[in-house]
């Protein structure tokens, strides 16, 4: 009964491939997010999405795209993978209430070779 679950936990792939990371939350939260954590542990928000709007961090390449089939899922699709995409990607969710705080998944370690 994990609150925010991501799959896969590890993903190793070659440059140029297209891959997806899945995220599901069973908390009934309104909003979901994707974060990228680099090798220095720096966390950068990539997307936030609720049923009203998608907010994209303008620094995220358009090779990255979120897909939300329903309120409980926010998948991350990455096209034409590059070496620099190697990182840990975290999904998170929250209620659309200020000060609520986020619940994070356990992360997906992506390695591009």
Partner 1 sequence: AQSVTQPDIHITVSEGASLELRCNYSYGATPYLFWYVQSPGQGLQLLLKYFSGDTLVQGIKGFEAEFKRSQSSFNLRKPSVHWSDAAEYFCAVERDMRFGAGTRLTVKP
4 versus 76: smaller Cβ distance to partner 1: 4
Distance CA 6, CA 22 (A): 6
75 versus 108: smaller Cβ distance to partner 1: 108
Distance CA 68, CA 42 (A): 25
9 versus 63: smaller Cβ distance to partner 1: 9
56 scored as a contact of partner 1 (CB under 8 A): no
Distance CA 30, CA 63 (A): 25
8 Å CB contact between 81 and 89: no
Task: List the one residue from 19, 90, 110, 112 that touches partner 1 (CB under 8 A).
Answer: 90
8 Å CB contact between 105 and 37: no
Task: List the one residue from 11, 50, 105, 112 that touches partner 1 (CB under 8 A).
Answer: 105
3 versus 15: smaller Cβ distance to partner 1: 3
Task: List the one residue from 28, 59, 98, 113 that touches partner 1 (CB under 8 A).
Answer: 98
Hey, which residues between 27 and 46 contact partner 1 (CB under 8 A)? 33, 40-43, 45
Strand order in the sheet with 75-78: 4-7, 19-25, 75-78, 64-67
């Amino acid at each position: 009964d994990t609150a925010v679950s991501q799959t896969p936990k590890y993903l190793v792939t070659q440059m140029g491939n297209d891959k997806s990371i899945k995220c599901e939350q069973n908390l009934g939260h309104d909003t979901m997010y994707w974060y990228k954590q680099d090798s220095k542990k720096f966390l950068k928000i990539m997307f936030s999405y609720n049923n009203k709007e998608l907010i994209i961090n303008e620094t995220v390449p358009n090779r990255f795209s979120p897909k939300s089939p329903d309120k409980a899922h926010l998948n991350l699709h990455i096209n034409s993978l590059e070496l620099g995409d190697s990182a840990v990607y975290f999904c998170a969710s929250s209620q659309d209430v200020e000060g609520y705080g986020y619940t994070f998944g356990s992360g997906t370690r992506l390695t591009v070779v």
